[in-house]
A and B are shown apart, each in its own frame.
Chain A
Amino acid sequence: MEQLASAFGTVIIGVLACVAYFYGSNWLLDRIFPANAATAEKGIVNLRTAHAIRPWLFLGPALLALGLYLVYPAVESIRLSFFNNDGSKFIGVDNYVWLWFNKGFRQSMFNNMLWLVFVPAMSTFFGLVIAALTDRIWWGNIAKSLIFMPMAISFIGASIIWKFVYEYRGEGSAQIGIVNAVVEFFGGDPQAWITIPFWNNFFLMIILVWIQTGFAMVILSAALRGIPEETIEAATIDGANGLQIFFYIMVPQIWKTIAVVWTTITITVLKVFDIVFAMTNGQWDTQVLANLMYDWMFRGGGDFGRGATIAVIIMLLVVPIMVWNIRSVNSESKGH
């Protein structure tokens, strides 16, 4: 309880400090460069100076935090990737060479590629299908809400949920995991699913698809509603059926939104850590980059050089999407 009180105390102090900073710095700025100075000329100069400084007062705390917690670490990670385990000795590209020949890394890259194809594809596919179907029925919003719900569940909570779904009991005892119970019902042999190499990757991916489909559905549903009705009416008059309308009229019109959904999920996939960490911790050939990185960060006292190298690899995979995002935002703001 005492701890919660300190948390609330921090909130109050933090908010007060922010208010004091913004208010105080503004007040100070107006005092130092008063608009109603002795001469009119001086007043104009003061006004201009204050005008030039004020944005930076507004931006100050944010820039400081962004710099300290994101920009500086990113640069530092790149630097550390050329250093040894505790960052004391420059070793050139040794870490990258080591990585290239490392079995765990190759495994992770391969698995990450599987994740990158499967998860965005399946989430977008299901999201699109569900968005299109639920728009046509009266209880669509309830259905959407329920499918959207896993978005609120933590990856680790989802891992427990799905570990229970995949739970395996030895032969002879009743299966309490629903997958094995269904398999048994249809006469199959129950399996310890997450220990079957290669295929277990997909059982882990399903968890993320389960979480991300709701996201895809919400965005795509909004996009579908934005399609001008005339185009669909015209197609109907021309005799197109439901599927044709969906694939030839609707999907092409929301193509850009599909791309946005796809890339956003791709970013999530690249950072996926908790699920693998909780379900298998990389055993049975399920290692992925983010978990490998965590592993090296703390293994045997921590190898920061190698950990940073893996982080840089993840970053490199993100860069194309980053560039694409920046370009689309830029072209958008030019349009205004």
Chain B
Amino acid sequence: MISGSKTKSPLMWVVHLSVLMLVLLWTMPTIGLFVSSIRDKDQLAVSGWWTALFSSEQNIIGRSVGPDAQIEENGLFVLKGNILEAEGKKGTVVSFGWKSQEPTLYKAGETAEMSSDQTMTIDADGNYVITQPKEWSGSRGRRIFFTINTPPIFTLDNYREVLTAEGIGRSFINSLTVTIPSTIIPILIAAFAAYALAWMHFPGRAVLIAVVVGLLVVPLQMSLIPLLRLYNSVGDFFGVPAKTYLGIWLAHTGFGLPLAIYLLRNYIAELPREIIESARVDGASHFDIFVKIILPLSFPALASFAIFQFLWVWNDLLVAMVFLGNTEDQLVLTGRLREMLGSRGGNWEILTASAFVTIVVPLTVFFALQRYLVRGLLAGSVKGG
């Protein structure tokens, strides 16, 4: 950009540092999501994802075995067992206590002297011994307050759960079902129209181009209500459901066409005139020219649009909510995510893993085909006049 700017300048480290900060700022939220999705769900709930690599401490309230399991040793009545196993926790006990006011008063291995000659000892491995001179009565064991230290646990359990039990797997297939036809069908239709607008002469061509440019920015919201009414009445008339995959494929086709035509026309119009004219002189028809010359040459533009449309349809929530139902066989990933936000709002292990499953496909497409995406963006934004 600036000539000679790549040479060493005293301020270069400021540039490096600022860019690094910006990159961190921009990637941090996504990294947080990913790290959280592979953490143990108990750890995720009590510590920040940035502590994922360190062991975490957790305060737990447990209960010893009940009086029916007591044994008599040396004149003392003893309750013993393993508190970690009883509570289903992994890790080591750091400290414990017997009063809720002082839950961490004693270190693991120490013996706590409680009221009325009772004692309590908990080892780091969770084995506990509670004694008292007289027999234990009542039906429940003693409460034990303890703090455990757990090493970092990384797991794919969250993914296993969301893909099966939470229905993300099913929605993944639904999303693919919506996306594939919605991406491919508009391309052909748009390519023919773009060729006509670029290379054929007919009255009204300029007006049509202006119309396409105008339609580029028409908000989707303008289409929703009339189309919903139309779909409902078509459904009633033929006695078929109004919310079908065919309906949403066509809707996405319609909504994607202005950009498709605009992108492709710009590209096709820039192709060298000589190629097309020499083909005309050789007696090729418009149809032949289109199929044999234009289509193969416009591959980059076709790819750009396909990526755009794929990302847009895959990520769309609004159109899916209006034109598809929320039954198991029609709920797409975005719709499922939004349902989970309502029903599983606090279960971050579910939300993060689900969200990551939904963004992994677009991210893959993005990183693999970024070149075409950038090219499309550059061609697609209406140039300043």
Contact = CB atoms under 8 A, between A and B. Distances in A.
Interface of A: 1, 3-4, 6-8, 10-11, 14-15, 18-19, 22-23, 26, 30, 52, 54-56, 58-59, 61-63, 65-66, 68-74, 76-77, 80, 87, 126, 129-130, 132-138, 140, 143, 145-157, 159-165, 167, 173-178, 181, 210, 213, 215, 218-219, 222, 224-225, 227, 229, 232-233, 236, 242, 245, 250, 256-257, 259-261, 264, 267, 270-271, 273-274, 277-278, 290, 293-294, 297, 304, 307-308, 310-312, 314-315, 318, 321-322, 325-333
Nearest to A310: B221
Contacts of A250: 1
B53 interface: no
A46 to B, nearest CB: 14
A146 B185 contact: no
B254 interface: yes
A236 B20 CA distance: 27
Contacts of A56: 202
Given A310-B221, A311-B222, 17 more contacts: A3-B245, A7-B177, A58-B193, A62-B257, A73-B223, A80-B226, A133-B18, A137-B12, A149-B26, A156-B334, A156-B358, A157-B337, A242-B11, A256-B384, A278-B338, A322-B214, A322-B218
Nearest to B1: A135
Contact of A329 (B45, B209, B223): B209
A-B pairs, top 8 by smallest CB distance, nearest first, are: A69-B254, A256-B384, A328-B385, A154-B315, A62-B193, A152-B366, A76-B226, A58-B196
Given A4-B176, A232-B2, A332 B217 contact: no
12 contacts: A7-B177, A62-B193, A66-B212, A71-B215, A132-B1, A156-B341, A157-B355, A181-B48, A267-B217, A297-B224, A311-B225, A326-B214
A134 B180 contact: no
Given A62-B190, A137-B19, A147-B23, A155 B315 contact: yes
A314 B48 contact: no
A210 B318 contact: no
Most B CB atoms within 10 A — which of A11, A62, A72?
A: A62
Report the contact-size class of chain B (Cβ under 8 Å from the partner): 35 or more
B267 to A, nearest CB: 15
Contact of A321 (B5, B50, B217, B358): B217
B215 to A, nearest CB: 5
Interface stretch (B69-77, B98-106, B152-160, B370-378): B370-378
Contacts of B318: 273-274, 294
Nearest to A256: B384
Most B CB atoms within 10 A — which of A132, A143, A227?
A: A143
Contacts of A3: 173-174, 177, 245, 329
A262 B363 CA distance: 25
Interface stretch (B28-36, B82-90, B115-123, B140-148): B28-36
Given A8-B180, A10-B249, A164-B352, A271 B219 contact: yes
Nearest to B260: A62
Interface of B: 1-6, 11-12, 15-16, 18-20, 22-23, 26-30, 32-33, 36, 44-50, 173-174, 176-178, 180-181, 184-186, 188-190, 192-193, 195-197, 200-202, 205-206, 208-229, 245-246, 249-251, 253-255, 257-258, 261, 285-287, 290, 311, 314-318, 322, 329, 334, 337-338, 341, 348, 351-352, 354-355, 358-359, 362-363, 365-367, 370, 373-374, 377-378, 381-385
B47 A164 contact: no
A135 B4 CA distance: 12
Contact of A176 (B45, B225, B384): B45
Given A63-B193, A65-B257, A145-B367, A70 B223 contact: yes
A73 B227 CA distance: 7
A59 B193 contact: yes
A229 B1 CA distance: 7
A225 B3 CA distance: 11
B176 A178 contact: no
A58 B378 contact: no
A123 to B, nearest CB: 12
B210 A330 contact: yes
Nearest to B366: A152
Contacts of B33: 160-161, 164
A19 B249 contact: no
A315 B176 contact: no
Contacts of A330: 206, 210, 385
A7 B245 contact: yes
A52 B202 contact: yes
B15 A136 contact: yes
A145 B5 CA distance: 21
A208 B239 CA distance: 42
Contacts of A146: 23, 26-27
Nearest to B318: A273
A19 B30 CA distance: 43
A141 B228 CA distance: 44
A65 B253 contact: yes
Contact of B26 (A210, A245, A326): A210
Nearest to B246: A10
Contacts of A148: 366, 370
Given A23-B287, A63-B193, A325 B216 contact: yes
Contacts of B367: 145, 149
Contacts of A135: 1-2, 5
B343 to A, nearest CB: 13
A173 B196 CA distance: 65
A308 B218 contact: no
A93 B4 CA distance: 63
A126 B258 CA distance: 29
A153 B359 contact: yes
A312 B221 CA distance: 8
Nearest to B197: A59
Given A7-B180, A154-B358, A54 B378 contact: no
Given A69-B251, A154-B362, A271-B219, A61 B192 contact: yes
